[in-house]
Structure 1
């Protein structure tokens, strides 16, 4: 390939990426964005109310009358429900307890110890696959995964004689491209389920309740495939390319502008006390899991439903948040007590408080998200858009899987500009969940399809703030590296991840495999 051709392609890539950055930078930050959307919804709903617009939702016994915010009824509704709209925002009920629990496990050092153990015990040939496993599982740490996993992966790669930049970039790619899935139930599952529930509350015949485990089967299958795929790409694509390009294996600059990492003071190996603490935390976790399993499995268990089963509704499914909370808090306390990060009872609320402080931005954003969702549901605009959209798709015959793929593509494109998963799902769920429910799909399935779009592309957008952190880490090896360098090295992950995840969703769709306990693909009435 000629130098001129290479330079031309780089120029096209740079222009495209610069365009993405310019467009994205013109978008308001999420709070302002949803404040604007709230205002637009208020105006449109009022105009439709004045025009006496109504909609007949299939399955509903009564006609839905569109109500406007700037009417006497609307203004009193807002002034009476500003607080309830916020405190009643369903994600808060599930996300906050899990955040407190994950905060104990993270601040005690348990999660970091598990990551270091996974890296430290992996043989040299298996390190890329260990990075794939840890990266995908890293979403349990939320955004912390983006700053903890990459430098640790670089450290263990270098210690094993492999290219540290492959570990650095591979760790980031696995953590980002697989962000929406996990083998464990995470706060993200609770967050998405809460938003979906908020949308479906006003829909008749919306299928089984959406809980934090509604996508669990799909998540497990996806996580296993993406872990292996991430390891393969690191091993067979990324590292060989870095070697061919002659990227330095040692840090060549002490750049003072390099962003600090929360993991730079960590070693790959665990100290004896840390190993002991991790061992006891795992033992306690297993014992706790056995106790819970026995309690819910006994004949006549109060966690069964009236028919003696667990599906589609039961106290067990309603207790998922408690189970997740317990499985993080108790092992976290055991670990912290042994290593000394948690010594007294006063340390427990302290680490929980630190976890809440880390999520202060979400708690502020949740205020306007709750107002937007509440107005969207109360006004009836969501039902009107859903009926109109479903009718339009049926008219052109686009109601099958192509419509689902189109939805995923749209989510992937929006993910280049709206980095917040909760903000994007709030926006898309309000429109697409009711639409696809009318087409006969379970809300949990649409939520699972959204996960495919809300992951892979976030590691190639300049609007991802952690890309800047990663760039600072990369410049320790390549001082001249830029965002174009990062994005070019992320693309080998993005396309295979997207295709693999879409293929997994296709298998669940065509074979009608349940997405999670009690949640299938189609609504019962459509079967």
Structure 2
């Protein structure tokens, strides 16, 4: 008798199940980061006791690794505890934006808008549209991590698809493709400034890098990764969720009965209808007009000759108040239309309803706010001890000592960036450290700084969606637990795995094509100096 071999989907499901089981054996996120903080504290103290230092190219003196269990370390801990928490960047972003997004959700605007916009959209197109929006989402900076996934879940649910596939796919597309976009973003300007600053230290600095120096490469990467993300969501993630019986309906929150009793008009108290009512249409029209007026007002402010949103030279790049206002602009883009929607749709009847609805949104984030306390302590200690700098420079020196030359050296650089990205998820911090070593190194080998920067983008993005050190993984876990309260970090990490390797390989192949055919990565920026 012949035994049929296991199907490919079956083998993949079993592999992901094993990853999920192992990942879920990790402590709860709060305790995990307590332990990681202790590990960093002990390791840094040992390294400091042995006098470990790191020499960052461009600095005259070596930088010592500082110990947490020293006088200076204890002073850092006691004086910085509150600041490390309140100053935790994702906390500011998440709480601020979720106040507005929560109002838009609780007043019913998002549900009505999604039903109206996607009621006739073909189901098959949604994963690919989500891939495109997610990959290009870095135009909203880190805000994309907390805006796109929950909205994608609503879209998928409205179209009769698994909402968690939207959550997972949206987060993966944003994170694994974070360094690329069809639009010019603040990240382009930030990377360009770092690259030029390092390249200027050598006599032959190559072509000056600008925010559009990687634009052609970004466009090609965005298209390839968008299609790939759609394929993975459609052919791997969603079928896997269905086969495993993963819940596709939110678990009823503990305060559902209270919400219904205190506010019968609360759209989250009852299942959302598939039809758009006259009141909702009236609210959407008012929201659209309000958004248009807001856009015109912001545009007028931005284009004014003496606009306070311009930089000192009268422009917007490489840095300006406008580029620092993404969170504010996103907040207004949700809050103002939601306010007018609620008034005209009848879901906001009095002024007191606004803070009430916004407060309920924050209640959903209470778990993340608690976690942000220990996350802030860990990240601050990791930076203060200089262990991050030591890891980046030591890894770079190891790669240099191996003697790799030509394109294999570029691939080794990408691999190193991908590994370091598991520990240093801030792209600007990681590029600052790596550029100081590798831009001069590759300049001596004849590579344009803009090409090295493009290679860094590949390694900087794909792996950050599978490391628990990415603070937005906790945000995603919060959303996933709405459907599966027992989900842990292993659950979301396992769901990210199908994206990481395909994204990494596809992106490397795009870079390889630019290298092999000597295609400019952007206006005036080739692969090698002088070509």
TM, length-normalised to structure 2: 0.66
Task: For residues 319-348 of structure 1, give each alpha carbon's deviation from its aligned partner in whole angstroms, at most 9, with x where no partner exists.
Answer: 222212111110111111122222222122
Q: What residue is the counterpart of 1:59 in the other structure?
A: 58
Is 1:366 the equivalent of 2:397? no
Q: What residue is the counterpart of 2:110 in the other structure?
A: 111
Task: Map residues 24-63 of structure 1 onto 2, 5 A cutoff.
Answer: 24-63=23-62
Q: How much has 1:371 moved relative to structure 2?
A: 1.1
Deviates more, 1:127-136 or 1:307-316: 127-136
- The CA distance in 1 between the partners of 2:283 and 2:455, in whole Å, is 39
Is 1:74 the equivalent of 2:73? yes
Matching residue within 299, 306, 312 for 2:305: 299
Q: How many residues align?
A: 446
- The CA distance in 2 between the partners of 1:495 and 1:111, in whole Å, is 33
Matching residue within 275, 278, 301 for 1:272: 278
Is the 2:247–2:484 Cα contact (8 Å) retained in structure 1? Answer: no
- The CA distance in 2 between the partners of 1:457 and 1:44, in whole Å, is 20
Matching residue within 352, 368, 371 for 1:346: 352
Deviates more, 1:90-99 or 1:497-506: 497-506
Task: Map residues 348-497 of structure 1 onto 2, 5 A cutoff.
Answer: 348-397=354-403, 401-403=410-412, 405-406=414-415, 426=425, 434-435=433-434, 438-440=437-439, 449-454=459-464
- The CA distance in 2 between the partners of 1:332 and 1:29, in whole Å, is 35
- The CA distance in 2 between the partners of 1:443 and 1:94, in whole Å, is 27
Q: How much has 1:380 moved relative to structure 2?
A: 2.1
Is the 2:56–2:433 Cα contact (8 Å) retained in structure 1? Answer: no
Q: How much has 1:392 moved relative to structure 2?
A: 0.9
Query: Could you list the runs of 5+ residues in structure 1 that have no partner in the other structure?
Result: 155-164, 184-189, 208-214, 415-423, 473-486, 515-519, 523-527
Is the 1:129–1:228 Cα contact (8 Å) retained in structure 2? Answer: no
- The CA distance in 2 between the partners of 1:494 and 1:6, in whole Å, is 27
- The CA distance in 1 between the partners of 2:478 and 2:301, in whole Å, is 44
- The CA distance in 2 between the partners of 1:311 and 1:267, in whole Å, is 45
Q: What residue is the counterpart of 1:159 in the other structure?
A: none
Q: What residue is the counterpart of 2:18 in the other structure?
A: 19
Q: How much has 1:216 moved relative to structure 2?
A: 11
Task: Map residues 488-507 of structure 1 onto 2, 5 A cutoff.
Answer: none
Q: How much has 1:312 moved relative to structure 2?
A: 1.0
- The CA distance in 1 between the partners of 2:9 and 2:177, in whole Å, is 35
Q: How much has 1:89 moved relative to structure 2?
A: 1.9
Is the 1:129–1:232 Cα contact (8 Å) retained in structure 2? Answer: no
TM, length-normalised to structure 1: 0.66
Alpha-carbon spacing, 1:446–1:8, altered in 2? closer, same or farther (3 Å): closer
Alpha-carbon spacing, 1:114–1:433, altered in 2? closer, same or farther (3 Å): farther
Task: For residues 449-468 of structure 1, give each alpha carbon's deviation from its aligned partner in whole angstroms, at most 9, with x where no partner exists.
Answer: 5443345999xx9x979889
Q: CA RMSD in A?
A: 5.2
Task: Map residues 62-461 of structure 1 onto 2, 5 A cutoff.
Answer: 62-122=61-121, 126-130=122-126, 132-133=128-129, 141=147, 144-145=150-151, 148-154=154-160, 171=166, 174-175=169-170, 177-180=172-175, 260=251, 265-397=271-403, 401-403=410-412, 405-406=414-415, 426=425, 434-435=433-434, 438-440=437-439, 449-454=459-464
Task: For residues 113-138 of structure 1, give each alpha carbon's deviation from its aligned partner in whole angstroms, at most 9, with x where no partner exists.
Answer: 2221222133xxx3321454358658
**SS, match of residue 315 in structure 1:** coil
**SS, match of residue 316 in structure 2:** coil
Is the 2:41–2:67 Cα contact (8 Å) retained in structure 1? Answer: yes
Q: How much has 1:300 moved relative to structure 2?
A: 2.3
Is the 2:119–2:158 Cα contact (8 Å) retained in structure 1? Answer: no
Deviates more, 1:141-150 or 1:365-374: 141-150
Alpha-carbon spacing, 1:115–1:206, altered in 2? closer, same or farther (3 Å): farther
Is the 1:42–1:69 Cα contact (8 Å) retained in structure 2? Answer: yes
- The CA distance in 1 between the partners of 2:149 and 2:520, in whole Å, is 34
- The CA distance in 1 between the partners of 2:272 and 2:215, in whole Å, is 32
Is the 2:118–2:155 Cα contact (8 Å) retained in structure 1? Answer: no
Query: Could you list the runs of 5+ residues in structure 2 that have no partner in the other structure?
Result: 135-144, 179-184, 201-213, 253-267, 440-448, 486-493
Is the 1:433–1:443 Cα contact (8 Å) retained in structure 2? Answer: no
- The CA distance in 2 between the partners of 1:217 and 1:279, in whole Å, is 38
**SS, match of residue 305 in structure 2:** coil
Q: What residue is the counterpart of 1:517 in the other structure?
A: none
Q: How much has 1:504 moved relative to structure 2?
A: 6.5
Task: For residues 259-294 of structure 1, give each alpha carbon's deviation from its aligned partner in whole angstroms, at most 9, with x where no partner exists.
Answer: 658799223331222122223212221221122112
